[in-house]
Chain A
């Protein structure tokens, strides 16, 4: 089986994980910029992080024949500090032209505050100004419904946003229709303790269709499973879906979305 891991924070994973991904059939990983588990003290911390995901991480992935792509932003958890957030926004254009950068992300909301929303809108404008695609993080647990509505509104209210170039990630049963019905791509995150299980992810394919969706592990430093996408593929197979259906969901769909940026080329 071939697949793409379209949301992984490989900077927090071991080299053994790259080996496991490669052995499971992973051809490419997509790494959105995220929260490191603690708040960074200055924009210099982000400068180094952006160098890590544009220079170092692609080399680490290449040792396992995996292509590495990334997305840039200051994540919503650190966007509450608008002064810091604007400093980080100002250094992003220096990295946009890097070979493996596909767009702006994962931007979005965390606790649905005014400051987070302000910085989300500034990221959207940055993406528009530089003709970049967007990858969106939706809030956790009780904050997801409200945050998803605010995010969909912010994107829909911008006249230059093409929803087919935006993926809104971490959807669940109550938010997937809000995203898909507006023409955005939807991401389903397979987490052992929150977000969705492989069973529910396949349920959502049955409920909302298998166009404009991807599945990811969002593996990071927390409780997460880098092999959850192949496990969801096994769930599809158990339910009787054939190889071409599975290939579309776990390989062709992410390739179609990411391939809207000409920098995305599978080797």
Chain B
């Protein structure tokens, strides 16, 4: 690392700002179109309080909240892909 301290707020603020506004607009949009009743939206909302946490490790905790917490291999899977939050049917 060089001696001069980089201003990480200068470097990351605009990027964080647009992502935050995008989340707010996404929630408005699905509200407006009555599509809030979805397990992925519930998972997203459950993770949002982590943004206000004062403890480091927010990114890892958000990822954990959006993860399947079971531990045994499943007997089979009807799908090949993933959706970003654990499905209630899984």
How far does the Cβ of A152 sit from chain B's closest Cβ, in whole Å? 12
In the assembled complex, the Cα of A246 lies from the Cα of B44 at a distance in Å of 35
Whether A199 touches B12, Cβ cut-off 8 Å, given contacts A145-B64, A174-B63, A240-B6, is yes
Residue of B with least CB distance to A203:
B59
Residue of A with least CB distance to B75:
A114
Partner of A173, one of B60, B69, B74, B82: B60
Partner of B82, one of A115, A139, A203: A139
**Chain B positions within 8 Å of A116 at CB level:** 73
Q: Is A144 an interface residue (CB 8 A)?
A: yes
In the assembled complex, the Cα of A144 lies from the Cα of B69 at a distance in Å of 10
Does B64 lie within 8 Å of A174, measured CB to CB?
yes
Chain A residues numbered 131-179 whose CB sits less than 8 Å from any CB in chain B: 139-146, 149-150, 172-174
**Chain B positions within 8 Å of A7 at CB level:** none
Q: Is B5 an interface residue (CB 8 A)?
A: yes
Does B82 lie within 8 Å of A142, measured CB to CB?
yes
Does A111 lie within 8 Å of B77, measured CB to CB?
yes
In the assembled complex, the Cα of A44 lies from the Cα of B71 at a distance in Å of 35
Does A146 lie within 8 Å of B67, measured CB to CB?
yes
Does A114 lie within 8 Å of B74, measured CB to CB?
yes
Whether A142 touches B86, Cβ cut-off 8 Å, given contacts A150-B73, A239-B11, A242-B1, is yes
Whether A117 touches B73, Cβ cut-off 8 Å, given contacts A111-B80, A140-B82, A141-B84, is yes
Whether A80 touches B76, Cβ cut-off 8 Å, given contacts A140-B81, A141-B66, is yes
Does B2 lie within 8 Å of A143, measured CB to CB?
no
- Tally of contacts, chain A with chain B, CB under 8 A: 92
In the assembled complex, the Cα of A245 lies from the Cα of B85 at a distance in Å of 36
Partner of B2, one of A144, A199, A241: A241
**Chain A positions within 8 Å of B17 at CB level:** none
**Chain A positions within 8 Å of B80 at CB level:** 77, 110-111
Residue of A with least CB distance to B12:
A199
* Mask: chain B, 53-68; 1 = CB below 8 Å from A; 0 = not: 0000101110110111
Q: Is B79 an interface residue (CB 8 A)?
A: yes
Q: Is A200 an interface residue (CB 8 A)?
A: yes
How far does the Cβ of A88 sit from chain B's closest Cβ, in whole Å? 17
**Chain B positions within 8 Å of A141 at CB level:** 66, 82-85
**Chain A positions within 8 Å of B76 at CB level:** 80, 113-115
Does B63 lie within 8 Å of A146, measured CB to CB?
no
Chain A residues numbered 118-141 whose CB sits less than 8 Å from any CB in chain B: 139-141
**Chain A positions within 8 Å of B75 at CB level:** 113-114
Does B71 lie within 8 Å of A146, measured CB to CB?
yes
Residue of A with least CB distance to B76:
A113
Chain B residues numbered 12-49 whose CB sits less than 8 Å from any CB in chain A: 12, 15
Task: Rank and list the top 7 A-B pairs by shortest CB-CB distance, nearest first.
Answer: A111-B77, A145-B67, A174-B63, A141-B82, A140-B82, A173-B60, A173-B59
Beyond A114-B75, A140-B82, A143-B67, 7 extra complex contacts between A and B, CB < 8 Å:
A80-B76, A114-B74, A115-B76, A143-B82, A240-B2, A240-B4, A240-B5
